Amino acid sequence: MLTKGAVEDLIMEHLSRAGRGGAAPAVKKNAPAGRKVFLSDWELRRIYKPGEKSVKVPANAIVSPLSLDWLDYNGIAVLRD
């Protein structure tokens, strides 16, 4: 098990390497405006209209596993644009 001091040492070692050409910062990829990449259970329930048998989501959307379970349980199909 790591102690608090060992964790601090690891962090400081990593930070000191960053100045010498260590790990490059990750480039953030922007999703198209107005299109959500990840849809949580809460967001999908807001999209769903009662009585419908399908929900339309963007083609590049990642639907959370909890949402997929909820949709499957209720017999709702996911349609991708």
- Give the pLDDT of residue 28: 57
In three-state form (DSSP H/G/I as H, E/B as E, the rest C), the secondary structure along 12-59 is HHHHHHHCCCCCCCCCCCCCCCCCCCEECHHHHHHHCCCCCCEEEECC
Average pLDDT over all residues of the chain: 81
Q: Name the pTM for this structure.
A: 0.52
The domain locations on the chain are 4-80
% residues pLDDT > 90 (the chain): 38
pLDDT digits (tens, 9 = 90+) for 28-61: 555 555 666 899 989 998 989 999 999 999 888 9
What one-letter code names the amino acid at 31?
A
Residue 63 has pLDDT above 80, yes or no: yes
Handedness of CA 73, 74, 77, 81 (dihedral sign): negative
